[in-house]
Amino acid sequence: MFDQLSEKLQRTLKNLRGEGKLTEKHIEEGMREIRIALLEADVNFKVVKGFIDAVKGKCLNQEVLDSLTPGQQVVKIVRDELIHILGDSNSDLIFSEPPTIYMLVGLQGSGKTTSAGKLAIWLRKQGRAPYLVSTDVYRPAAMDQLAILAKQSQLPFYPSTPDQLPVDLVKKALYEVKNTGYSAMIVDTAGRLHLDDSLMQELQKMKEAIHPHEILFVADAMTGQDAVRSAEAFNNVLDISGIILTKMDGDAKGGAALSVRMITQKPIKMVGTGEKLSELEVFHPDRMASRILGMGDVLSLIEKAEEAFDQKQAEKLERKLRKEAFTLEDFRDQLRQIKKLGPISQILGMLPGMNSSALKNLNVDESALVRIEAIINSMTPTERSNHSLINGSRRKRIAKGAGTTVEEVNKLLKQFVAAQKMLKQMTTMADPKRMKFPPFPR
């Protein structure tokens, strides 16, 4: 995400950092480059003007120009202003006295239905009991889609039918939720291909009927200024409480994310970062600003790891490592944990110093993990426990079972042996009892 913008901003700031002494001319040239980068990223021109004026005013401060590290001061100013544009602080979803009602609105095709399913799964992880309701009576496929998502994820779903009026439907669903003890109701509303007076009136009636705690505008980040204009229109009519940006993983420009908060003055609350139903995240303005500038996002990486890695499995692995009993089965289990974190390129983007140009030139073979797992799965339990048993004929059988070559099997076994040696060294270094010290000189 933000690849194009990130690359240009990082290049401009790198040039400024390379100047030992900054002058007003340097600042002017840098701001011109940043202005062009933001406009090319489809950021709203009013937002660009406000951003450039604020950054330029602070950069031309005599304290900055006379500083020993003026380039670093400029980077800090740019980061602070990016955070201000994206939202000065996190804006959490409201959790009220049950049931909390979340009403999702937006244009057709923005990802409302999928976001409803993702939000339900996210709420369940927070210990809530969500209930899904579809009120899109005009597009029966939307009702079917939400019903399928609910079934796949084992989530309760109100049995809507196209012959009902949306306002009557949502009232009945709310009565059902209140009487069955669910703590959250997520309402997926109808959309249109364009802004429509009848749609807005219907949404207003629904709002008056159920008094939602949150009205969340769902926008496709890849539509740029179109998403910003529609968010503004929905906000003027419904007074939305926040925004969910979908398809952030495919948005190389970032115009919507950098414009929608300033134009509507409503916070971005959550972002969709992939196609999986688990890929919905809380939006952190400071972390996003750091990622845009190539500073990484270690906190999000840690949170992903804590969510993906099983604590009991980790403790079991630690015990095995101390006993030097790390097997191919353990190797496979660790690969499965890594896959839960998401695409490798996305994870690398969270590391400090991994700028967009470096990631662009990096060819990450995501299928390699799948091939490794297939090879290990083709082994017998005995072979996985003791890799030294795997001779030439066994390697042929394993390769055939995994649909790969003997060379790939040999490559995996070499990698595993190298990993074993490295882990052995690490555990020896971490164990004071086994550390070997040189004798004292006499």
Q: In terms of Cα–Cα distance, which of 92, 96, 140, 135 is closest to 116?
A: 135
Phi-psi region of 106 (alpha: psi -120 to 50; beta: other; left: phi over 0): left
Say if residue 187's pLDDT is above 50.
yes
Predicted structure pTM score: 0.70
**Rounded mean pLDDT, 268-293:** 87
Q: What is the dihedral of CA 302, 304, 309, 312, to 10 degrees?
A: 70
Structure confidence at residue 337 (pLDDT)? 72
Looking at the fold, whether 149 and 177 belong to one and the same domain comes out as yes
Structure confidence at residue 33 (pLDDT)? 92
Looking at the fold, whether 106 and 234 belong to one and the same domain comes out as yes
Where is pLDDT greater, at 408 or 22?
A: 408
Structural contact between residues 217 and 211, judged by C-beta atoms closer than 8 angstroms: no
Looking at the fold, whether 350 and 261 belong to one and the same domain comes out as no
pLDDT in tens, 73-115: 888 888 899 999 998 877 889 898 889 999 999 988 889 999 9
Looking at the fold, whether 178 and 246 belong to one and the same domain comes out as yes
Structure confidence at residue 385 (pLDDT)? 87
CATH number of the structural domain spanning residue 67 = 1.20.120.140
pLDDT in tens, 125-154: 999 999 999 999 888 788 899 999 999 999
Identify the domain boundary among 255, 275, 293: 293
Looking at the fold, whether 307 and 214 belong to one and the same domain comes out as no
Long-range contacts at 381-385 (CB < 8 A, ≥ 24 apart): 381/329, 383/328, 384/327, 384/328, 384/329, 384/332, 385/327, 385/328, 385/329
Looking at the fold, whether 17 and 152 belong to one and the same domain comes out as no
Tokens found for residue 51: 């951003």
Q: In terms of Cα–Cα distance, which of 214, 223, 222 is closest to 243?
A: 214
Evaluate the CA torsion angle 153, 156, 159, 160 in order and state its sign.
negative
Q: What is the mean pLDDT of the chain?
A: 82
**Rounded mean pLDDT, 281-310:** 71
Identify the domain boundary among 293, 322, 353: 293
Domain count, the chain: 3
Looking at the fold, whether 321 and 201 belong to one and the same domain comes out as no
What is the C-alpha separation between 198 and 94, in angstroms, rounded?
29
Looking at the fold, whether 107 and 187 belong to one and the same domain comes out as yes
* Range of the structural domain that residue 392 is part of: 303-433
**Rounded mean pLDDT, 256-270:** 90
Structure confidence at residue 131 (pLDDT)? 95
- Which three-class secondary structure state does DSSP give residue 64? helix
**Number of CB atoms found within 10 A of residue 102's CB:** 25
Structural contact between residues 267 and 91, judged by C-beta atoms closer than 8 angstroms: yes
Residue 279 counted as domain residue: yes
Structure confidence at residue 241 (pLDDT)? 95
Looking at the fold, whether 253 and 123 belong to one and the same domain comes out as yes
Looking at the fold, whether 399 and 367 belong to one and the same domain comes out as yes
